[in-house]
Structure 1
Amino acid sequence: MLTLGIETSCDETAVALVEDGRLVAQELASQVDVHAVFGGVVPEIASREHLRVLPVLFRTLMERTGKRPEELDTIAVARGPGLLGALLVGVSFAKTLSLSTGARLTGVNHLWAHLLAPSLERELVFPAVGLLVSGGHTHTYRVDSPVEFELLGRTLDDAAGEAFDKVAKLLNFPYPGGKKLDDLGKEAEPDTALFPKAYVDNNSLDFSFSGLKTAVANYVGKHPELVLERMETSALDKLDAGHRETLAGVCASFNWSVAETLRIKVERALDQVPDAKALVVAGGVAANSMIRGFMSDLARERGVELVLPGFSLCTDNAAMIAAAGDMLARRGMYHDLSLEAVPRGRTVPHDWIVK
């Protein structure tokens, strides 16, 4: 079975081919440079960029792999959650291809796809606890199969990735600042008392990072000397030793607060899923070094298998969409041309047509 995956949920445009569960090839275009001048993603610009590059990427993918559109069995597209305008570009493209080639159409939950991405590198075991940690969402799930996800904890306001982006912006780090914050934090030991753990003084599995973000904002407000003079990578490279050491300590301490919060919440999730065989950690922030370390330690302590995707599968990509679509198609789960895009803030419905 040959499945095309299409990803346009935010600021990455990507297409990929998966054949019988194996990744054949992927083409991806990043918009980082386009949005960097604004310090974040501008939805209208993102949509226009998807519209401009998606047909080119598709044509390049087919030529590079020697495949023809008529050979496609399934067209899988990220239907949400995400930026509505961006999603509509991908969904419209997918519907057009489905109508013209006769391939079946499958809408994919972008969040579930992140947690299924490691299937391209290894066999997944179930039941599992899934931690999705990205720019827009921080969720935990009980996962019983590729199509059975039970939401345990969800984002109430700022997601972990959003907190990283906003703290990096407070410090005037160049966009995207999350990785730069992580890299600089590796140079110092965290002060575990500097910032609070986020929304943990309760029994909830939900996440709220707005308080932590505010605590960092207040600290930076009292120490304006921490802020970079220019929002450029070179400004980080040229810091004097004292400034760099202090800033690294702040980054490490913030990083620790996020990682420790996630550890506490995931441990609670594991308590609710006592039969879990694995802990799956996915999403863009799953590339964070301290979070990966904390989750590795937790999985070892709880005696469950840790499943971490490779770095290329952490960020938004079409390979994970194609892989998830392939799993749905094998179960006879498709959509017709009434498939709708689902923006962030709305629940993606389970409205497959089962054949």
Structure 2
Amino acid sequence: MTRIRGPAQAPDPDFGFRKELPDVGAYRVLGLETSCDETAAAVVAASRDDCGLGGGQILAQALVSQLEEHRPYGGVVPEIAARSHLDHLDRLVTRALRDSGVALRDLDAIAVTGGPGLIGGVLVGVMTAKALAFAAERPFIAVNHLEAHALSVRLPGGVAFPYLLVLASGGHCQLLAVEGVGACRRLGTTIDDAAGEAFDKAAKMLGLGHPGGPAVERRARAGDPRRFALPRPLVGRPGCDLSFSGLKTALRQTVERLDGPPSEQDIDDLCAAYQSAIADCLADRARVAARLFAERHGAGHPLVVAGGVAANQHLRDRLQEVAVANAMTFAAPPLALCTDNAAMVAWTGIERLRLGLTDTLDFRPRPRWPLDPEAAPARGRGR
């Protein structure tokens, strides 16, 4: 992976980076990601034949992180994000193609996040991908950003359909039965805030900066999760829906009851209690979803966690316990594929290309794009 800003990072051998070119019988797809605050381009290759277990090779990836631009505001500013995508995307495409050794004319398709996301950024990516597809006379594939997260676990290989997915990120939080490409059945969703947003708001409240999830996880390692009693909204109730708004309120009230500003140990303990509460909520809802999933698909299928919050090790540990208790295997993408990235977009492009699922150049970017169009409308961020 090439990062244009920040310290250089070596390729992660755990998620399929290869410098050698695949054989001519492989699909080679360029993926673009501009849905939020990461600008990225990647080239991924995989066999034209689906073995059922996934498996691809990341030939190259270039990424610009916008963390420093948004940090002073405590969150992502859509206008700043869109301008940054516009400034960097062309250069990243050139870098990814050069590093992969694949010429534009040798690609099999151009895939891009078509939504959901911040519409300004999505527009930048979609228009760039359309121009490249038109110029190279290659298929254009609009990828649902949530499906890219859902399928990211299949890029390294070894995960077959169907599987139960806990999709947890800054903007979305859902439990889904992933039954195939383009076939996700929603079992539960947040009725208010997403788990990642809850982490971000807690970090801002405690003065830990942006992004919040990694900051809370770091401080939680030195904290006592039992010192502060925080609620577990909806735990033990029927269904698989989630709620985090009340948990954020409870954290604020707990901080206000302290004698003065929180000390460093207070912050560590608050982070540990808060992280534990979020993980308990997700684990409880996953237990309910696992029973519903087994009624339809039987036992022994994977329980998968994906999305930015899937990088949290405490959550991974809790969900692995749920998997074991329900006779399921457990899987999660490598950390580099949890946060927004172009490799998962290119991989989803390959999965769709195998099935002949391409799009026309009149595709319109979508700020909202439900994975399960048959599911009832949700009040929160679970759409």
Q: TM-score, normalised by structure 1?
A: 0.91
Equivalent residue, structure 1, for 2:15: none
Supply the distance in 1 between the matched residues of 2:370 and 2:178 (Cα, whole angstroms).
17
Contact kept, 8 Å, 1:342 with 1:348, in 2: the verdict is: no
Change (3 A) 1:297 1:348: closer
TM-superposed deviation, 1:162: 0.2
Helix, strand or coil for the counterpart of 2:179? strand
Q: Structure 2: where are the runs of 5+ without partners? A: 1-26, 47-55, 374-383
Match for residue 370 of structure 2?
A: 347
Shift of residue 2, structure 1, vs aligned partner? 1.0
RMSD between aligned alpha carbons?
1.6
Q: Deviation of residue 284 (structure 1)?
A: 0.5
How much does 1:308 deviate? 0.8
Instruction: Tell me the distance in 1 between the aligned counterparts of 2:317 and 2:183.
Output: 28
- Aligned residues of 1:171 and 1:226 also touching (Cα < 8 A): no
**Residues 198 and 258 in structure 1, CA contact (< 8 A), matched pair in contact too:** no
Counterparts of residues 111-150 of structure 1 (less than 5 Å):
111-150=146-185
The answer to which of 329-338 and 14-23 deviates more is 14-23
Structure 1 residue ranges without an equivalent (≥5): 228-242, 351-355
Relative contact order, higher structure (CA 8 A, sep 6+): 1
Q: Which of 42, 48, 70 lines up with 1:16 in the alignment?
A: 42
**Structure 2 residue 277 is the aligned partner of structure 1 residue 257:** yes
The answer to whether residue 237 in structure 2 is matched with residue 202 in structure 1 is: yes
Residues 115-156 of structure 1, C-alpha deviations (whole Å, 9 max, x = no match) = 211222222122210110000011111111233111111222
Mapping for residues 81-120 of structure 1, pairs under 5 Å: 81-120=116-155
State the distance in 2 between where 1:292 and 1:192 align.
22
The one of 331, 334, 337 equivalent to 1:313 is: 337
Cα contact 1:192–1:256 (8 A) shared by 2: no
C-alpha contact (below 8 Å) 1:199/1:209 kept by paired residues: no
Structure 1 residue 193 displacement after superposition: 6.2
More helix by share: 1
- Supply the distance in 1 between the matched residues of 2:159 and 2:274 (Cα, whole angstroms): 32
Deviations 1:334-353 (A, max 9, x none): 00011111114x53698xxx
Instruction: Select which of 242, 245, 260 maps to 2:265.
Output: 245
Where do residues 1-355 of structure 1 align in structure 2 (5 Å cutoff)?
1-20=27-46, 21-191=56-226, 194-200=229-235, 202-223=237-258, 225-227=260-262, 243-274=263-294, 275=298, 277-344=301-368, 346-347=369-370
Output the CA distance in 2 between the equivalents of 1:67 and 1:308: 29
How far apart in 1 are the matches of 2:78 and 2:228? 37
CA distance in 1, matches of 2:266, 2:211: 21
CA distance in 2 between counterparts of 1:155 and 1:5 reads 29
How many residue pairs were aligned? 334
Question: Residue 198 of structure 1: CA displacement?
Answer: 2.1
The 2-side partners of 1:222 and 1:47 are apart by 40
Structure-1 separation of matches of 2:62 and 2:330: 28
Q: Distance in 1 between matches of 2:287 and 2:181?
A: 22
Instruction: Tell whether the 8 Å contact from 2:30 to 2:110 is kept in structure 1 after alignment.
Output: yes
Q: Which residue of 2 aligns with 1:238?
A: none
Q: What is the rounded CA distance, in whole Å, between the counterparts of 2:327 and 2:236 in structure 1?
A: 26
Question: The residue matched to 2:141 in structure 1 has which SS?
Answer: strand
Amino acid at match of 1:294: R
Q: TM-score, normalised by structure 2?
A: 0.84
